Amino acid sequence: MNWGSFRGLLSGVNKYSTAFGRIWLSLVFIFRMLVFLVAAEKVWSGDHSDFDCNTLQPGCPNVCFDTFFPLSHVRLWALQLILVTCPSLLVVMHVAYREARERKHQEATGEKGRLLYPDPGKKRGGLWWTYVCSLVFKAGVDTAFLYMFQAIYPKYLLPHMVQCHVDPCPNIVDCFISRPTEKNIVTLFMVSTTAVCILLNLVELFYLVGKRLSELLAKRRARATSQEQQPACATSSHKQHELCLGGLQFLGSGAPPPLLADHPQKHVKKTVV
């Protein structure tokens, strides 16, 4: 997998994210992906070949290794990083879809036509839901993988020695793991960064939902205020109500004001002051 091009593709989501999303993106690429590429793959590169057991029984070391390490840390982390970063691609694709639709609309209506999306990257409507769902999915994936690691490797730690007694091992066999302390340090670091990423996703989720709710409440208050400014017009007399509605009418008279004649000078009476 070309991780460089993958990173370049995902970095486009940076301009469509909030401040919490940018911190999450930096944490994923610097403290998770780079550590995975630079340290984790090298630490677990020879985990099978360096797994030594005090027996010469053919097949026994392989069976013991498969029993205690059903899934490799490196493969689990690679799958986790792919699943966690895919929702960010959906956000970028949604924005690209909006931009393409806006271009087609402008070609059909001209430059003076109404804009479908004044700001295609603004999180409103379907894009807001796509972004929120991506946050929920990313937090759920990281939580599921933390639970999976805990179920396979209790307390996320590897022992220095394991005892194996499965076929075809003739008796209880002691097997030794290569560099267990180094692997435990890398594992705890990856687990810690994953927990921080989950926290950032939840904070960003609450921030977006709270901001949206505050906007809806502000609109509702503005609508209620505009309705409260018209009670006098609604409860006043019929004539004053017509004045509130903008109709011109003499107070105390049911007739509209007289219209001015075409030649007003013919109807003016001369008076001596």
For residue 82, give both structure tokens.
């792919």
User: Distance of CA 61 to CAs 23, 75, 153, 171, 172, Å?
Assistant: 44, 21, 19, 13, 12
User: Distance of CA 31 to CAs 39, 87, 146, 192, 233, Å?
Assistant: 11, 19, 17, 10, 64
Query: How many CA atoms within 13 Å lie on the side-chain side of 212?
Result: 14
pLDDT at 101: 79
With a cut of 50, which residues of the chain have pLDDT below it?
Answer: 243-245, 247-253, 260, 267-273
Contact yes or no for 205/139 (Cβ under 8 A): yes
Other CB atoms within a 10 A radius of the CB of residue 206 amount to 12
Return the bridge partners of 175, or none. 53, 162
The CA distance from 27 to 33, in Å, is 9
Q: What is the pTM (predicted TM-score) of this model?
A: 0.73
Sign for the CA dihedral angle at 211, 216, 219, 224 comes to negative
pLDDT at 269: 46
Alpha helix (H) residue ranges in 117-179: 126-152
Nearest-5° Cα angle at 122, 197 to 130: 55
Domains and CATH numbers, the chain: 3-225 (1.20.1440.80)
pLDDT at 202: 95
The CA distance from 198 to 142, in Å, is 7
- Please give the full DSSP string across 52-80, using - where no structure is assigned: EES---TTHHHHHHHHH-SS-HHHHHHHH
For residue 238, give both structure tokens.
């019929």
Sequence-separated (6 or more) residues with CB below 8 Å from residue 263: none
The CA distance from 146 to 195, in Å, is 8
Other CB atoms within a 10 A radius of the CB of residue 98 amount to 19
The CA distance from 273 to 268, in Å, is 15
